Structure 1
Amino acid sequence: MSTLSRFLPYGLLVGLLTSCSQPEQPTTLLIDNIQGYSFNNQRELFNFTAIAIRDGKVLATGDAELSADYPKADKVDGQGKTLIPGIIDAHGHISGLGFTLLSVDVRGQESAQQAAQKVASYAAQQPQLQWIKGRGWNQVLWPDQQFPNAALLDQFIDDRPVWLTRVDGHAGWANSAAMEAAGINTDSVSPAGGEILRDADGNPTGLFIDNAMNLIDQAIPSPSTDEITVALDAVSKHLLSLGITSTHDAGVSAAEHALYRELADSGAMQVRIYGMISSTDPELEQIFAAGHSLGENDMYSARSIKIYTDGALGSHGAALLEPYEDRPDHRGLLLTSAEQLRKLFSLAIANEFQVAIHAIGDRGNRIALDEIEHAYNSVGGRHLRHRIEHSQVVALSDIPRFKSLDVIPSMQPTHATSDMNMAEDRIGPERLKGAYAWRSFLKQGSRVVSGSDFPVELAAPFDGIHAAVTRQNKANQPAGGWIAEEAMTIEETMRSFSIDAAWAAHQEDKLGGLTPGKWADFILLDQDIYHIAPEDLWKTQVLETWLAGKRVFKAER
């Protein structure tokens, strides 16, 4: 008999031994006095005023009586604030936004000269940088609406290469030093799916469209792992401050894929990422061979590839069935050959990977639909939930094919309000009937999933929610909304940014709604978005962001 057992009563001894052998019960967190909204597994909206959380996941939602079920819970008073699931941005570019946050942003500059001056000021403050990089210019907003050129940049900075990506990521503006570093001259040839703009004498102007951008990009040193990590840290904090708890990264490199997996497994990943592996990455087949990348904490998963059919509307790169209205000799650019598209579909489906295919023009969308249909008839893959990213300008006869082929239209509401000042100029009124057509897709039963396409647009989700519901910009113009019949309701919009976005990533059992067993990712807002005037939606402020039951952002007051 042990010394302990000789001196303690039997009952007390059993109690001590039992308590020592039982693991400590996890703490339950109960947040009450909230105006809660979420979607259940049937995609139906429901209300609650209290939520119980344990081990980072939802235990239950209910009314004020829920606290009686968890008398020992740690309690938080929600002070009557609105609580909704964390926003899932279904289409963004993590590294693109990260490096944008760490480079010069020329978004909103009112002329090419103003943009060049801002770049020069930035360069003067960053003498250590070998290349000056930036993003955000948009010639459509300038008085002359003309593409910029190298000569203008050279006036302000000629001692270092400068490379500025257009707001949509489908055109780039270089100075002469950048062209010299890349070996660009009069004899340079435009690659397939790209265009080097030239002056009357045949000299490159410094403007590169779509695949021609690679001529400059390949001269820029690749970012190191440390640089990618810094960019990821910047973008993660930014997204969480906006209420985005998960995002689909549309074009992940092999280096980023490995880093994301490492950070997620170590617990250092700050925001959830669903990765679409870039189809142009040299290590694509090795990534396929390794299979789906999933983790227990669902911070990073990758089971999708990103392919491009065409470019963007603003830079005349979107592939059209008929010529552009404002450029009658041009039908856009195809970025991936038909042969390569077919090969990529076969490889992806054979390895059980979803295909997310970028398509903006009506020809780009038709090609995407045709390839998906061919894949179903030859190798299968219907169950993989293939997506068309943007689905922006679609021939009216092709819209029903999204439903019949079970293709997800992955769309970005702010593209409509950003493009409304030039879309009709590009494609005319008839083709506009199938453009930014959210309601047409919803009416036929397609699940529209929403994102922002950051950094093409701002990551701010309530800008997108406002655009989806009102079809207006933040000045609430035009009156009544632009092509208002294609607007979504607030309920449809929030579904597209939550449960349906999760479904588009095969994550509907884990994310997108505050039902038992799902991760407790949610945000607290300063106003009830379901009961305010639609024109005020963009003004919504995120007060707190919670990820897996832990607060990861709190607004300063």
Structure 2
Amino acid sequence: MRKPDAAFVNGKVYTADGDFSVVSAFCVSGDRFVAAGTDEEIRALCAPETKIVDLKGRCVLPGLIDSHLHVNNTGAMKMELNLVGKGREEIVAMVAEAYGRAKPGEWIVGRGWLNDEWSDASFPTKEELDAVAPDIPVYLKRACGHAAWVNSAAFAAAGVTCETPDPAGGEYLRAGDGSLLGTVTDQAQDPFNKAIPPYNKEQLQRIVLLAQEGFVSAGLTTVHDAGTAEEWIQAWEELYQKRELKIRIYASMRVVGRPNYEELMEGSLRYFQKGLRIGMYGNRLTARAYKISGDGSLGARSAWMLEDYGDRPGHRGNGKWTDEQLYNVLYEARRAGFQIWIHAIGDAANRQALDVYERLLSEIPDGDARLRIEHAQILSPHDIPRFRKLGVIPTHQTVFLRTDKKVAEARLGAERMKGAYAWRTLIDGGNVVPNGTDSPVESYNPFLSMYCAVSRKDEHGQPEGGWYPSEAMTREEALRSYTTWGAYAGFEEKLKGSIEPGKLADFVVIDRDFMTCPEDEIKDIRVLRTVIGGETVYEKAL
């Protein structure tokens, strides 16, 4: 056994090992944990030159893993208009200010609006933006990313007119007279995505470093990027080589934007031909997954449902692919050895995903495929047992509860709510439920997310008693959803997720005891130190 470089003693350390052991100390050599145990046991392993760190009774957790977020979009929020929490009038004022700074040829872009939180929850119009930005294109994504608010100049730049038909899997929402409203959903975003100038390599590098700054301050040591483009990987690799990028990224390759089927297949085959890339740069970067979207979002009413929306009769959302199209792409992904992630919110999209997975597993058997459904948000009770039977991993974002509870019952009705946000049911059915935030859809703060998982309340403590509280997680389950279950979802359970000998020395020190503090304080936990591979990458000034 190598002598440790550093030992951390006098703490309360939740190892998240198989027994959920709690110890007072552990030690590190290089980028790995050497041992965990009592202060006396760890001190006995130390050499005279070993650095001893007194934790002063503070709580230590394994490095936290967000199993579903968007690295690029999170960092870009610091370069674009950040519309989170803003009202309709505030957003128009922000666009007016940006218009005054904009140069010819530029677009005004932003993200984060949520009409469900406005006093007038109707979808916004192009006329509101035209009044302050008449001749520069404006493209403002809804928080979920599955809808955008655009002006007339954006419609013109994208080549979309009143006569343009809705694409399969999306809508150009319309006013009562049939004219373009100014909100577009899912596949209807594609012409705008293609018209907006892409970020260059230097901008992509700045974006990921901005994202990293936030992630490590929140205690995240690994993030699963839900849809990665090859040019992003190339930009990140330079930063890993320079040792400027520290965060561990588990990438799911995706044909970004809203491609049609031909574009999807062509772009996907390029990824499959390139093959898997695992454990690069000291286990900092892995690209072994492939992601595809099966529908949209509940907030945009583009989640694909088996029955009509309760608040929009005649509408069931937007499925993106036929069964055969989805199967054809995913068959190639499995042949190339990729783990598959399917974004599925609605019960119809989840059923389609499970059906295609069942067919794939019968034709290309694999006892450890770990196929994933991202969100698995609204499930037919009939389909819930199929996750365990097929070994499909339901990846959830428990923080969605804080906003979705405002619209879910009206959109779904009482019967469908029985299979919605069903964390307890899935866990009791023998499934692991990795957790994430879908940032920038929601805050990447893992403690807010774990608070929602445990309390079934929003950050204001509402509703009293919790929203469908029978589906809550325990605190241990919530922590596992950000540690061991996340590691398993990335085939990395032997590398990370717990504080055990031989695993990567990723851990966080926090300001209070996650397991015993009052429930309403979980959301207020602050990170004091984040360590990745034995290196402190964030430390809060005290």
> So what's the TM-score if we normalise by structure 1?
0.92
Alignment of 1:355-370 (within 5 A): 355-370=340-355
Give the partner amino acid of 1:92: L
Question: 2:114 aligns to what?
Answer: 138
Give the partner amino acid of 1:529: F
Structure 2 distance, partners of 1:190, 1:215, is: 12
Alignment of 1:203-214 (within 5 A): 203-214=179-190
Once the 2 structures are TM-superposed, how far is the Cα of residue 282 of structure 1 from its aligned partner?
4.8
Structure 1 distance, partners of 2:441, 2:72, is: 12
Give the partner amino acid of 2:285: Y
Q: 1:226 aligns with which of 184, 202, 217?
A: 202
1:36 aligns with 2:13: yes
Q: 1:316 aligns with which of 285, 295, 301?
A: 301
Alignment of 1:300-311 (within 5 A): 300-311=285-296
Structure 1 distance, partners of 2:222, 2:373, is: 19
Question: 1:292 aligns to what?
Answer: 276
Give the partner amino acid of 1:372: Y
Q: Which moved more, 1:264-273 or 1:89-98?
A: 264-273
Q: 1:76 aligns with which of 53, 73, 76?
A: 53
Secondary structure, in 3 states, of the residue corresponding to 1:441?
helix
Question: 2:363 aligns to what?
Answer: 378
1:89 aligns with 2:74: no
Once the 2 structures are TM-superposed, how far is the Cα of residue 388 of structure 1 from its aligned partner?
0.4
In 2 relative to 1, CA 173–53 (structure 1 residues): closer, same or farther, beyond 3 Å?
A: same
Deviations 1:237-280 (A, max 9, x none): 11011111111000001211333344335533221100000154
Deviations 1:157-193 (A, max 9, x none): 2232110000101000111111111122122221111
Alignment of 1:509-520 (within 5 A): 509-520=494-505
Paired residues of 1:373 and 1:405 also in contact (CA < 8 A): yes
Give the partner amino acid of 2:331: S
Paired residues of 1:414 and 1:468 also in contact (CA < 8 A): yes
Paired residues of 2:265 and 2:329 also in contact (CA < 8 A): no
Structure 2 distance, partners of 1:296, 1:358, is: 28
Question: 2:380 aligns to what?
Answer: 395
Aligned length: 530
Once the 2 structures are TM-superposed, how far is the Cα of residue 444 of structure 1 from its aligned partner?
0.9
Paired residues of 1:522 and 1:545 also in contact (CA < 8 A): yes
Question: 2:258 aligns to what?
Answer: none
Paired residues of 1:543 and 1:554 also in contact (CA < 8 A): yes
Give the partner amino acid of 1:291: G
Question: 1:263 aligns to what?
Answer: 239
Give the partner amino acid of 1:289: Q
Question: 2:75 aligns to what?
Answer: 98
In 2 relative to 1, CA 126–441 (structure 1 residues): closer, same or farther, beyond 3 Å?
A: same
Give the partner amino acid of 2:219: G
Question: 2:259 aligns to what?
Answer: none
In 2 relative to 1, CA 369–67 (structure 1 residues): closer, same or farther, beyond 3 Å?
A: same
In 2 relative to 1, CA 546–235 (structure 1 residues): closer, same or farther, beyond 3 Å?
A: same
In 2 relative to 1, CA 440–27 (structure 1 residues): closer, same or farther, beyond 3 Å?
A: closer
Structure 1 distance, partners of 2:431, 2:164, is: 45
Q: 2:31 aligns with which of 51, 56, 63?
A: 56
Q: 1:453 aligns with which of 424, 427, 438?
A: 438
> So what's the TM-score if we normalise by structure 2?
0.95
Paired residues of 1:469 and 1:493 also in contact (CA < 8 A): yes
Paired residues of 2:3 and 2:47 also in contact (CA < 8 A): no
1:430 aligns with 2:415: yes
Deviations 1:322-347 (A, max 9, x none): 00000011000012332221012211
1:495 aligns with 2:451: no
Structure 2 distance, partners of 1:270, 1:149, is: 42
Paired residues of 2:205 and 2:239 also in contact (CA < 8 A): no
1:464 aligns with 2:435: no
Structure 2 distance, partners of 1:348, 1:206, is: 36
Once the 2 structures are TM-superposed, how far is the Cα of residue 380 of structure 1 from its aligned partner?
2.4
Question: 2:325 aligns to what?
Answer: 340
Once the 2 structures are TM-superposed, how far is the Cα of residue 155 of structure 1 from its aligned partner?
1.4
Secondary structure, in 3 states, of the residue corresponding to 2:480?
helix
Structure 2 distance, partners of 1:165, 1:435, is: 25
Question: 2:538 aligns to what?
Answer: 553
Question: 1:10 aligns to what?
Answer: none
Question: 1:533 aligns to what?
Answer: 518
Structure 1 distance, partners of 2:215, 2:504, is: 18
Secondary structure, in 3 states, of the residue corresponding to 2:498?
coil
Paired residues of 1:28 and 1:53 also in contact (CA < 8 A): yes
Structure 1 distance, partners of 2:490, 2:240, is: 17
Structure 2 distance, partners of 1:220, 1:142, is: 28
Secondary structure, in 3 states, of the residue corresponding to 1:212?
helix
Structure 1 distance, partners of 2:37, 2:95, is: 53
Paired residues of 1:349 and 1:380 also in contact (CA < 8 A): no
Once the 2 structures are TM-superposed, how far is the Cα of residue 382 of structure 1 from its aligned partner?
4.2
Question: 2:426 aligns to what?
Answer: 441
Q: Structure 1: which 5+ residue stretches go unaligned?
A: 1-24
Q: Structure 2: which 5+ residue stretches go unaligned?
A: 256-263
Secondary structure, in 3 states, of the residue corresponding to 1:39?
coil
Secondary structure, in 3 states, of the residue corresponding to 2:282?
coil
Give the partner amino acid of 1:105: N
Secondary structure, in 3 states, of the residue corresponding to 1:396?
coil
Identity score, percent: 35
Once the 2 structures are TM-superposed, how far is the Cα of residue 281 of structure 1 from its aligned partner?
8.0
Alignment of 1:149-164 (within 5 A): 149-164=125-140
Secondary structure, in 3 states, of the residue corresponding to 1:434?
coil
Paired residues of 1:254 and 1:284 also in contact (CA < 8 A): no
Question: 1:21 aligns to what?
Answer: none
In 2 relative to 1, CA 505–333 (structure 1 residues): closer, same or farther, beyond 3 Å?
A: same
Aligned-CA RMSD value: 1.6
Structure 2 distance, partners of 1:83, 1:477, is: 29
Give the partner amino acid of 1:396: P
Question: 1:45 aligns to what?
Answer: 20
Deviations 1:204-230 (A, max 9, x none): 122101100112111101111111111
Once the 2 structures are TM-superposed, how far is the Cα of residue 26 of structure 1 from its aligned partner?
7.7
Paired residues of 1:52 and 1:58 also in contact (CA < 8 A): yes
Once the 2 structures are TM-superposed, how far is the Cα of residue 288 of structure 1 from its aligned partner?
1.6
Structure 2 distance, partners of 1:152, 1:306, is: 35
Secondary structure, in 3 states, of the residue corresponding to 1:101?
coil
1:473 aligns with 2:450: no
Paired residues of 2:434 and 2:486 also in contact (CA < 8 A): yes
In 2 relative to 1, CA 120–556 (structure 1 residues): closer, same or farther, beyond 3 Å?
A: farther
Structure 1 distance, partners of 2:409, 2:135, is: 41
1:193 aligns with 2:169: yes
